[in-house]
Amino acid sequence: MAEPLLRVQSLRLDIADHERSRSILLDVNFDVRPNEVMGLVGESGSGKTLTALTIMRLLPPAASVSEGRIELGGRDLLRLTESEMRQVRGSKVAMIFQNPRAALNPLMRAGDQVARALLLHRELSRAEARRQAVELLRHAGISDAESRARAYPHQLSGGMAQRVLIAMMLACRPDLLIADEPTTGLDVTIQAQIFELIKKLQAETGASLLLITHDLGVVSEVCQRVAVMYAGQIMEQAPVAELFHHPSHPYTERLLGSILRVDQAAELDPSRAIAFASIDYDNPGCRFANRCPYVLEACWVRRPVPRRLAEDHIVYCHLRNEGAS
């Protein structure tokens, strides 16, 4: 098997408020292989975005990593100095944000922002950077790129702004692109176009993509493998087809069961519904325990050890570990 490009190992992230600190992310393990699209799915508050920000080392001051490694191309990002990390950001790993308009500087022309990103990592003249920026914008599917390059962000539509952001983030050809719900706030046809674009550019540049989303439909279309996250823990990780056909974690099962289908009446099967309970970050065992219909004694006590069910299919659940534990 090819050496993974990104390897996140037993990552633990603590957030401190006034009196105590909580491990929001606990024992997060996954990897992204070269030239692969990896999905990271989960509901709101599951820690997807925090995981991405940790990889970028853009964490808010209250958050700190207390354990784990994030290896990118063999280097542990968590141990780099800030100036080394600066070299990595943009040229090795870049991130597309949720709200494209908010991610662009409102006082700077779109083209200039892309050109500046180029100048950060390359030795170019300003004129050359500007020329290449227009080229990148055109490549990101912006028609009339020259005049759009002179536009300010508020003059661009949401989809257009996301294309600018994508052009900017891919300007220096990162090995890994993280896309954090890149289509929230865009209408459905534009969403499809943006995913097309991201997939096309990913294939062209040979970059790997870590796609963060809560939309399983998107995952099935775009990703090769997927990791399911809940309450800051990885629940299950598998190739997409495997996950959709043989979900092995009760949470994954219910997540898939929650997809509404046009050809079926939407009825709520009480036996398949997840109990209403707030996310339990404090359970030392499996954090899904308080909502899990099959909960066992062990789920409240200790974290399940990962169980390899098939090639690349790993699940963290005591149900699949009976006898093993």
Instruction: List residues binding other proteins (CB under 8 A).
Output: 53, 56, 58, 82-83, 86-91, 94-95, 97-99, 102-108, 116-117, 120-121, 165, 168-169, 171-172
**Minimum distance of other proteins from residue 111's CB (angstroms):** 15
In the complex, the smallest distance separating the C-beta of residue 113 from other proteins, rounded to whole angstroms, is: 9
CB contact at 8 A, 51 and 25: yes
Q: How far is the CB of 56 from other proteins (least distance, A)?
A: 6
Nearer to other proteins, 104 or 219 (CB): 104
Residues shown for the chain? 325
Distance of alpha carbon 84 from the chain centroid = 23
Nearer residue to other proteins within complex by CB, 116 or 320: 116
Let me know: does 246 contact 312? Beta carbons within 8 Å: no
Closest CB to other proteins among residues 83, 271: 83
The residue among 87 and 258 lying less far from other proteins, judged by its C-beta, is 87
Tokens 């994954």 belong to which residue?
252
Which is closer to other proteins, CB of 87 or CB of 325?
87
Query: Contact 307/323 with Cβ under 8 angstroms?
Result: no
Report how far residue 22's alpha carbon sits from residue 63's, in angstroms, rounded to the nearest whole number.
10
**Best CA proximity match to 248, nearest among 192, 187, 318:** 318
* Helix, strand, coil percentages for the chain (3-state, nearest 5): 35, 25, 40
Whole-angstrom Cα distance, residue 97 to residue 103?
A: 7
Q: What minimum distance in Å lies between the beta carbon of 107 and other proteins? A: 5
3-state per-residue secondary structure call for 226-280: EEEEECCEEEEEEEHHHHHHCCCCHHHHHHHHCCCCCCCCCCCCCCCCCCCCCCC
For residue 200, give the nearest of 285, 141, 261 by alpha carbon. Answer: 141
| Least separation in angstroms between CB 181 and other proteins | 12
92 vs 249, beta carbon nearer other proteins: 92
**How far apart are CB 58 and other proteins at their closest, in Å?**
5
Judged by beta carbon, residue 59 or residue 296, the one nearer other proteins is 59
Least distance (Å) between residue 41 CB and other proteins: 22
First-to-last alpha carbon distance for the chain, in angstroms, is 28
Quick one: which of 222, 225, 253, 218 has its CA closest to 239?
Answer: 225
> Cβ of residue 172: shortest distance to other proteins, in angstroms?
8
Q: Of the two residues 103 and 145, which places its CB atom closer to other proteins in the complex?
A: 103
